[in-house]
Chains A and B, each alone.
Chain A
Amino acid sequence: MNEHRIEIVVNGRKRTASVEPRKVLADVLREDCELTGTHLGCEHGVCGACTVLVDGDAVRSCLMFGVQADGAEVTTIEGVAPGGGELSDVQAAFRDCHGLQCGFCTPGFVITVRAFLAENPRPTDAEIRSALSGNLCRCTGYQGIIAAVRQVVRQRTGLPPGAEPPASDIRPPSVPVAP
């Protein structure tokens, strides 16, 4: 099959690749750019694991062909942390809040949250849930992920997440029972 030469700026670096027209962006990133942090959980646009930023917008890289990204700027999960072992605030919040267990879905969530909070810096709980509803996680039951987003909102704005409904972080005390 004939191949096309494409040029993408990935995480600030210019990359070129020669790809078949049918090759999806996720595979171009994973195979040609050897950036394997972008995961494929379904290859049909539902799970969100493959989410990357293309020219600032969160897109599903399994639904976009590599040739369509020619000339674009792409941010993958590898481009999110500042480096040197430091984490971005979103990543740190996922760690603090047990927002990941197996970690397979996490790159997609981190990118989604980053794009979402850029647009809506102080979302309500309902808005958080709806923004996350395009990403699937099978391990966490979403509890830690939602808590992580709230943490970022609190840290960035100094305020609790948007008005209604109040985010309850209250937990009942343990009840010790004699053995």
Chain B
Amino acid sequence: MTGHGRFVEDVVWPDTWHVAFLRSPVARGRIVGLDVEAARALDGVRVVLTAAELNPLVRSWWQTAVGPDAPQPPRRLLAAEDVRWVGEPIAMVLATSRYVAEDALELIELDVEEQPPVIADHLDRWKVEGEVGLVHPELGTNVAAQVPSPDRGMPMGNAALDDVLGTAPHVFDETFHQHRYLCVPMEARGILARWDPYRGRMEIVAATQGAHEVRASTARLLGIDETQVHASAEDVGGGFGQKMYMSTEDHCVVAAAYREECAVRWIEDRNENLVAGGHARTEDMRLQVATDETGRILGIKAHHVEDVGAFPTPGVGSNAKLAAAYLPGPYDIGQYFFSGVATYSNTNGKCAYRGPWMMETVAREQMMDIVAVELGIDPLEFRRHNMITSDRLPFTTSSGMVYETVTPRETLDQVAELIDYEGFRAEQAAARADGRLLGIGLAAYIEGSPGFGVLGAEQVSLRIDYDGKVLASTGSGSHGQSVETTVAQVVADSLGVDYEDVRVVQNDTAASPFGSGTGGSRTAAVFGGAARLAGEKLRRKVLRVAAVALEADPEDLELDLGVVRVKGAPAVALPMAQVAAMAYAGHAAFPPDLEPGLEAAHRIKAPTFMFSNAAHAAVVEVDPGTGQVRVLRYAVSEDCGNMINPMVVEGQIAGGVVQGIGGVFYEHFVYDSTGNPLTTTFMDYLLPTAADVPEIVYGHVVTPSTTPGGFKPVGEGGAIVSPPALINAVRDALRPFGARLTAQPLTPAVLLDIIEGNTR
């Protein structure tokens, strides 16, 4: 804000070599010629690295969250004999500046013999069988993952569901498509690395959501110890999932620094970020839904197809397992079965993007509207009819998730009120009489946040040094979530000091405890919970030390705003600096069981899943002349438990909602039939602007969770549920035209076709 922020590209090291990558211009083909001699000879070029130099350095390559045994695509640093997507790195130039490095790229001679790629147009895809070839010949299949997994002994069907689908009074069958749209952090990716062979030390500054993952991946790649790697992040300009794991290019940079024994810097440009930064969405979901005569849902069968590109991360990039777990959402759906297949293609690999599994909500919430209208029931009523009510908690969903503190009915009712659902129909009818197309859309969901495995044990460490101020260190990696603010607030509150006296250190492997970074919406619940318990521990310690000084019982002392007082005798006060001085230097009088110093840490064990819930409502107007959509009103009601900071909560929601507006109406990463990307700048890949978004109205229902502090996940929900709310609103507006509207994006051209009757 003042220009004093420091992002990765602002970090300057001496004697640092700038990277530019030569990337594949074709989606699939054999490299028949690669001549880098002229580039190597250019003034200012240190080296041009190809697969021959770099790839042998790879020892192992996996992400902590999936583990060493999980399947991975056949990873490689640089393409060797063949190329598998447009943008795949083939060679890497290290030069005195990015300008010179790009000049050198021009001098490289590359000859690729093209082969037909595995690609499909975004509305005519998912042909797993009969493709023209294999993305990864070494795998012998284009199937990246399947659920249920046939070789894991999981049930491959649900006979009771098939019965229901065969006999129910009403069965609906619809397939929904979600196009390719992307994280697009405003700061693209970037990393600096330097290897010092004399000290055996790798230093890394990266734009990352989790420095510990950078350290771990680097150590694995090069076969060195994690303790030899110091990874940290400066300010990070957004990530949304794209910066959760190290990319192929990041791996290339650390490998180059290691091989060349020098400092290497790669700051990608926007074109690279759009073409080669991890991609997202790109999936279909078919839902078969059975209901009884009254509109009660009796069963849902879901089939999910994901395009994970060539080299997805983490693992094989499939989100089907979480989608399967979360699909029942806030409803009692009766019998259930979920299957899914993820397929490789000759396109850029998939990465995590805010609510990576969100197709379950996108499809389900559209289906709720379609079924309701077919049954002649109002979509709001239909949802109420099937929704889990508070009196049924704890509730075990058809997928086995256990909800304890969710309030879907309350948020649905609140959002209906905020958007004036009742009043809208009259407004809509009046508008239609004037030739204006208004529509309203609702969507509800339960936001699940994983607390299993490495994601479920996070630590906050607290230290009060000599001057009595508090240093909190965490394994989080804030990249715009205000974690510094919220953790400081929780610590201040639970410890009993002024918020201004707490500093938070994070995203630095030398300064923060091991942690998996910021992602998965866990930060408030997991780091917030740990902060609270660590604060309470340290508070007890402070009171014990103070008790020695005051010759009192710790029970008789209280700590507030950094001052210890004797209860009932407020005149006797000991400021924190004095307690600290005693803890470190005045410990002669300490009893034997009282350790000097003022430190405390807590590593929290999170529940396997944590849940929050919300309902969104949108009112849109479609211009019948241009097909353009304006979002007139947008309301959100959510229950994320106790709110550490309502402004941060609303900021997270707003950011997610606008990413949904972008995803539904503007953003679309397009490949042509040869796998060539067509939307490679912000002139073609359109992001929503301030002129495209409504003022969002918020309502909060506050039901504390059972975890310490009562916090719940909130970071991803806005992006998960806004797309179906918006699509439902457009579908409602266009109902007079009888459109099915099951594919995104909803561009003016698509909507005009519907209005003019040129479509199904």
Binding site for B on A (CB under 8 A): 20, 22-23, 30, 34-44, 46-47, 49, 76-78, 80-81, 87, 91, 94-95, 98, 100-107, 110, 128-130, 132-146, 168, 171-172, 174-179
Contact = CB atoms under 8 A, between A and B. Distances in A.
B270 A37 contact: no
B418 interface: yes
A102 B682 contact: no
B2 A81 contact: yes
A136 B390 CA distance: 41
Interface of B: 1-7, 9-10, 12, 99, 184-188, 235-238, 240, 269-270, 390, 405, 407, 410, 414, 418, 479-482, 639, 647-648, 650-651, 653-659, 681-683, 687, 689-693, 695-704, 710, 718
A100 B186 contact: no
20 contacts: A35-B3, A36-B10, A41-B188, A44-B270, A44-B681, A44-B682, A47-B186, A87-B2, A104-B186, A107-B3, A136-B186, A138-B240, A138-B655, A141-B651, A141-B654, A142-B690, A143-B650, A144-B654, A175-B410, A177-B702
A102 B681 contact: no
A97 B381 CA distance: 37
Contacts of B10: 30, 36
A176 B270 CA distance: 45
Contacts of A168: 695
A80 B695 contact: no
A142 B3 contact: no
Given A46-B681, A106-B1, A138 B186 contact: yes
Contacts of A77: 1-3
A105 to B, nearest CB: 5
Contacts of A80: 2-3
Contacts of A138: 184-186, 238, 240, 655, 659, 687
A91 B701 contact: no
Given A102-B187, A103-B480, A104-B186, A179 B704 contact: yes
Given A42-B270, A46-B681, A136-B186, A174 B690 contact: no
A175 B700 contact: yes
Nearest to B11: A36
Given A42-B270, A101-B651, A102-B236, A172 B482 contact: no
Contacts of B99: 20, 22-23
A143 B696 contact: yes
Contacts of B236: 102
A177 to B, nearest CB: 5
Nearest to A165: B695
Contacts of B647: 98, 144
A138 to B, nearest CB: 5
B648 A129 contact: no
Contact of B4 (A37, A141, A146): A37
A105 B658 CA distance: 16
Contacts of A104: 5, 7, 185-187, 235, 237-238
Given A47-B186, A101-B480, A175 B5 contact: no
Q: Sort A-B residue pairs by CB-CB distance and give the 3 closest, nearest first.
A: A37-B3, A104-B237, A102-B480
Given A46-B682, A102-B480, A39 B2 contact: no
Given A37-B5, A138-B186, A178-B703, 6 more contacts: A34-B12, A47-B186, A102-B187, A104-B235, A142-B690, A172-B418
A103 B235 contact: yes
Contacts of B410: 175, 177
A76 B3 CA distance: 8
Contacts of B659: 138, 141
B118 to A, nearest CB: 31
A35 B207 CA distance: 20
Residue of A37, A42, A91, A146 ringed by the most chain B CB atoms within 10 A: A42
B270 to A, nearest CB: 4
Residue of B186, B188, B657 ringed by the most chain A CB atoms within 10 A: B186
A44 B4 CA distance: 24
A177 B648 CA distance: 21
A137 B697 contact: no
Contacts of A145: 690
A176 B184 CA distance: 36
Given A129-B691, A132-B690, A138-B240, A105 B418 contact: no
Contacts of A128: 690
Contacts of A87: 1-2
B186 A105 contact: yes
A75 B590 CA distance: 59
A141 B696 contact: yes
A46 B700 CA distance: 36
A103 B481 CA distance: 11
Given A142-B693, A171-B697, A41 B407 contact: no
A43 B98 CA distance: 13
Contacts of B480: 101-103, 139
Given A77-B2, A94-B1, A139 B655 contact: yes
Contact of A146 (B690, B692, B698): B690
Given A78-B2, A138-B659, A43 B697 contact: no
B272 to A, nearest CB: 11
Nearest to B97: A31
A39 B4 CA distance: 12
A95 B2 CA distance: 11
A37 B235 CA distance: 12
Contacts of B3: 35-38, 76-78, 80, 107
A144 B651 contact: yes
B446 to A, nearest CB: 16
Contact of B703 (A41, A135, A144, A179): A179
A83 to B, nearest CB: 9
Nearest to B187: A104
A38 to B, nearest CB: 7
Residue of B3, B10, B639, B655 ringed by the most chain A CB atoms within 10 A: B3
Contacts of B700: 174-175
B1 A100 contact: yes
A140 B693 CA distance: 11
B683 A46 contact: yes
A179 B704 CA distance: 6
Contacts of A144: 647, 651, 654
Contacts of A37: 2-5
B187 A177 contact: no
Contacts of B692: 133
Nearest to A38: B3
A134 B407 CA distance: 40
Contacts of A35: 3
B481 A101 contact: yes
A102 B702 contact: no
